[in-house]
Amino acid sequence: MIIPLKEFPPLDPPLDPPLGLPPLPEGGVYRYHTMIKPSGAQCNLDCSYCFYLHKEDLLHQSKTPRMSMSLLEAHIRQYITSQTGDEVVFTWQGGEPTLMGLDFFRRVVAIQQVYKKKGQRIENDLQTNGVLIDDEWCEFLKVHRFLVGLSIDGPRDLHNAHRYNKSGGGTFDKVMNAVQLLHKHNVVFNALCVVNRQNARKPIDVYRFLKTEVRPRIIQFLPAVETKDFHRVAPGYWDESLLPTVGSPQARPGAEDAVVTDWSVDPDDWGYFLMRIWNEWLNRDVGKVFVDQFENVISQLVGRGAQKCVNAEFCGKALAIEHNGDIYSCDHFVYPEYRLGNILKVHEGDLAFSEKQKTFGFNKRDKLPQYCKTCRFLTLCWGECPKNRFLKTPSGEPGLNYLCSGLKQFYETVLASRAELSKKLSSAIQ
């Protein structure tokens, strides 16, 4: 049911400042993506490796941060009016977005219908830990075609090693209950697996479990990487004189003076994890199982560009909006240093294409060390995510990605299997 807009509190005063975007060349499209944090950093879990829970203190959030209806309306209107493509994607994350309740999301889809342009398609993604998912949630998600991202780190022991509730109890059973409900209601979902220091050493156990027991549309692997001071120091604002050199004991987890947290994935283990799964996937599952890293590197190899921002030449088109309307350069850069402004003062589209954000996006390429610029894998990697560039190169130049050694191992494996990959892809297409 579409709820009439008159049932929502109107903006007071109405806010719809003109966009200051430059004219597009003929055929051009304005497109960017904003990840929405309607409940701020609040979550009903207490995962050890969470990179966002500390934002409650860092951003001085209340105990129960909530996006108001008027601000929600402002975001939806500004977000839609800023986009000139035929598809607009809303991504709801947190913290834990299901804490907002179903009524909030019923209002979301209603407001979207009011503001969508003729011929425009509205899509919604919801990233969740699955704890609150029940039949009612699934019915809603199915009817409104939400794509769900479900966080799960592998079999019970590996999942429960880091993903636990506020009392310290494991969450595996509740997540698997969500898996069953999503399948029962035919809700399309992806599995997001955070690869940490523990499960990285059991790649085949993790992969086969996700493939056969969880059965998502796409398997997504995200490396857990954070510096020990990530609670207070923004990415790129490190003391460069203290950065360790690649290959040193300080450049991997476990050492007392390591630059990263103990749960961060070891860079070589990350490479091992991807290589082992790649080989199994190549031998058994091409065309049957979709792994985002593999789809991404194949897209790059065939000249269609990166599908993931971390492997693109530039970034800056994936922002984050907090519950109070503050816009940040990226979901992993929600620090005061990367705040662009607030949508109640400046139109969201203008913030997305501001000079500050353009500089942020171009710095991904422009601030690469020479070590990367001469690397044979440059166009597959592009220095990966800037938030992970806290090592020194062998010559002492700062800005090398923490995952560099593992990524090289993975790309070497991929390139060595190009002929086999080509055969497999041809067979899968036929």
Q: CA 387 to CA 371: how far, in whole Å?
A: 18
Sequence-distant (6+) residues with CB within 8 A of 78 are 16, 343, 347, 348, 349
Separation CA 131–CA 163 (nearest Å) = 11
Structure tokens at 277: 């799964």
d(CA 337, CA 333): 8
Query: What's the rounded Cα separation, in Å, for the pair 128 and 175?
Result: 10
> Which residue, among 246, 156, 148, 149, has the nearest Cα to 199 in the 3D structure?
156
Surface-to-core class of residue 192, CB atoms within 10 Å of its CB (0-12 exposed, 13-18 middle, 19+ buried): buried
Give the Cα separation of 263 and 225 in Å (integer): 8
Let me know if 331 is a catalytic residue: yes
In the sheet with 121-128, reading across from the earlier edge strand, the strands are 219-223, 189-195, 147-151, 121-128, 87-92, 33-36, 318-321, 326-328, 339-342
39 Cβ contact partners less than 8 Å away, ≥ 6 residues apart: 64, 65, 66, 67, 94, 95, 96, 97, 99, 100, 323
Cβ neighbourhood burial of 201 (10 Å; 0-12, 13-18, 19+): middle
Residues 6+ apart with CB under 8 A from 69: 8, 9, 107
Instruction: Give ∠ CA 52-58-61 in degrees, rounded to 5.
Output: 85
Q: Give the Cα separation of 145 and 109 in Å (integer).
A: 11
Beta bridge partners of 191: 150, 219
Q: Is 319 helix (H, G, I), strand (E, B) or coil?
A: strand
| Annotated catalytic residue, options 153, 269, 331, 350 | 331
* Rounded Cα–Cα distance for residues 317 and 309 (Å): 8
242, 208 Cβ separation under 8 angstroms: no
Question: CA triplet 221, 91, 216: central angle to 5 degrees?
Answer: 40
**Dihedral angle at the C-alpha atoms of 28, 306, 383, 192, nearest 10 degrees?**
120
Active-site residues: which are they? 331
